[in-house]
Structure 1
Amino acid sequence: MSAKVRKQSSNTGFIVALAGIIIAGGGFIWWKTQSTPAQETLVLPSVADSALAQKAHGYTMGSPTAAVEIIEFADFECPACGNFATITEPDVRKNLVETGLARYTFYDFPLLNAHQNTVPASMSAACADDQGKFWPMHDMIFTGQVEWNGIATSNPRKVLAGYAEKLGLDMPKWNGCMDAGTHTERIKANYSLGMMKQVNSTPTFYVNGEKMQGAANYDDIKAAVDAVIAGLRPISAGADSAPAAAPKP
Structure 2
Amino acid sequence: MTSWTLSGFALVAASALAFTAAPGAAQHWNGTVEETAQGFRLGDPDAPLQLIEFVSYTCPHCAHFEEESEAELRYLYIHEGYAALEVRHLIRNIADVAAALVTECGETDQFFVNHRIMMHEQGNWLARARELAPSQQARWNSGTLASRMRAIASDLEFYEMMEPQGYTVAELDRCLSDEARADQIVAASGANAAEFNVQGTPSFVLNGTLLDGVHSWPQLSQVLLSERENMSTSTE
In the other structure, the counterpart of 1:179 is 177
1:195 deviates by 2.0
Cα separation, 1, equivalents of 2:101 and 2:66: 18
1:73 deviates by 0.4
1:180 deviates by 2.8
1:118 deviates by 1.6
In the other structure, the counterpart of 2:121 is 144
1:172 deviates by 2.8
In the other structure, the counterpart of 2:143 is none
Instruction: Compare relative contact order (CA 8 Å, sep 6+) and give the higher one, 1 or 2.
Output: 1
Secondary structure at the counterpart of residue 50 of structure 2: strand
1:83 deviates by 0.6
Cα separation, 1, equivalents of 2:67 and 2:179: 27
Equivalent residues of 1:117, 1:148 under 8 A apart? no
Cα separation, 1, equivalents of 2:193 and 2:37: 9
Cα separation, 1, equivalents of 2:200 and 2:173: 30
Cα separation, 2, equivalents of 1:132 and 1:152: 34
Cα separation, 2, equivalents of 1:168 and 1:152: 28
1:1-249 to 2 correspondences below 5 Å: 56-112=37-93, 116-128=94-106, 130=107, 132-149=109-126, 150-153=129-132, 154=137, 155-158=151-154, 159-169=157-167, 171-191=169-189, 192-212=191-211, 213-218=213-218, 220-229=219-228, 230=230
Secondary structure at the counterpart of residue 41 of structure 2: strand
Cα separation, 1, equivalents of 2:184 and 2:75: 28
After superposition, what is the alpha-carbon deviation per residue over 1:63-122, rounded to whole angstroms, capped at 9, x for unaligned? 11211111100100101111101122332111111111000000000112xxx5221111
In the other structure, the counterpart of 1:24 is none
TM-score (structure 1 length as normaliser): 0.62
For these two proteins, the number of residue pairs brought into alignment is 173
Equivalent residues of 1:127, 1:183 under 8 A apart? no
Q: Where does structure 1 lack aligned partners over 5 or more consecutive residues?
A: 1-54, 233-249
Equivalent residues of 1:75, 1:109 under 8 A apart? yes
Q: More helix by proportion, 1 or 2? A: 2
Cα separation, 1, equivalents of 2:57 and 2:97: 8
Aligned partner of 1:119: which letter?
V
Equivalent residues of 1:148, 1:156 under 8 A apart? no
Equivalent residues of 2:66, 2:116 under 8 A apart? yes
RMSD: 2.4
Cα separation, 1, equivalents of 2:110 and 2:181: 15
Aligned partner of 2:217: which letter?
N
Secondary structure at the counterpart of residue 151 of structure 1: helix
Q: Where does structure 2 lack aligned partners over 5 or more consecutive residues?
A: 1-35, 138-150
After superposition, what is the alpha-carbon deviation per residue over 1:138-196, rounded to whole angstroms, capped at 9, x for unaligned? 11111111222232544441321122211113553332121233521331243121221
Cα separation, 1, equivalents of 2:79 and 2:47: 10
Secondary structure at the counterpart of residue 73 of structure 1: strand
